[in-house]
Amino acid sequence: MNKTALVTGSASGLGFELALLLAKDGHNLVLIDIDVEKLKEAKQTIESNFSVKVQVFAKDLSKINISEEIIADLHGTPIDVLVNNAGFGLFGSFWETDWKREEQMLNLHVLTTTHLTKLVLKDMVKRGSGKILNLSSLAAFQPGPLMSLYYATKGYILSFSEAIACELKGTGVTVTALCPGPTKTSFQKVVANDSSENKITFNMASAKEVAAYGYKAMMKGKVYAIPGKFNKLLATLPRFMPRNLAANIVRKIQEKNREE
Query: What is the set of active-site residues?
Result: 150
- 3-class SS at 260? coil
What's the first-to-final CA gap in the chain, in angstroms?
Answer: 54
| 257, 199 contact by CB (below 8 A) | yes
- 3-class SS at 47? helix
β-bridge partners, 4: 28
| 147, 191 contact by CB (below 8 A) | yes
CA-to-CA distance for 201 and 214, rounded, in angstroms? 21
DSSP letters spanning 130-170: EEEEEE--GGGGS--TTSHHHHHHHHHHHHHHHHHHHHTTT
Sheet containing strand 81-84, strands side by side: 54-58, 28-33, 4-8, 81-84, 130-135, 173-178, 224-225
CA-to-CA distance for 193 and 201, rounded, in angstroms? 19
